[in-house]
Homo-oligomer: A and B are copies of this chain.
């Protein structure tokens, strides 16, 4: 047990929690596109195939998701370090799409054509808890790149996966 308050301790514990980097994308009714790097992304159920994301209510894309918008999960490969930097706070609004091979799908939601995987979700449920909302989406389609070499975020830095044990 460390001598620090609980939120600080949780942040410290989570800095040591390695995870693939995902860019959550959505679009509003006026066609304005949103992208944000996220680590609070997890598979929920295989029946139906569904994903879960946790989004802080203070971020700009939250109000779009709160309105019921669908979203896509772009799982980055190690080659897309620059996209992660851009969508992780390095740029704002439409400028986040300046880096990377972005295209819009038939619903106007941007996706990264060469992402390791793109998981398109139909929003089904929102649950509020504390500072965040949980959004559940049923998977509509999945686009897979052949190779598996994910970009990983750990301890404030982007990393490559290491050797098998």
Contact = CB atoms under 8 A, between A and B. Distances in A.
Nearest to A22: B17
Given A10-B142, A44-B134, A130-B45, A16 B150 contact: yes
A136 interface: yes
Contacts of A144: 2, 9, 12-13, 16
Interface string A91-131: 00000000000000000000000001101000001010111
A52 B117 CA distance: 23
Interface residues of A, number: 64
Nearest to A15: B148
A7 B46 contact: yes
A49 to B, nearest CB: 4
Given A15-B148, A161-B162, A165-B78, A10 B155 contact: no
B131 A17 contact: no
A143 B12 CA distance: 10
A35 interface: no
B139 A18 contact: no
7 contacts: A1-B142, A16-B20, A19-B19, A44-B132, A44-B134, A152-B162, A154-B161
Interface of A: 1-2, 6-7, 9-20, 39-50, 52, 54, 75, 78, 81, 116-117, 119, 125, 127, 129-132, 134, 136, 139, 141-144, 148, 150-152, 154-155, 157-165
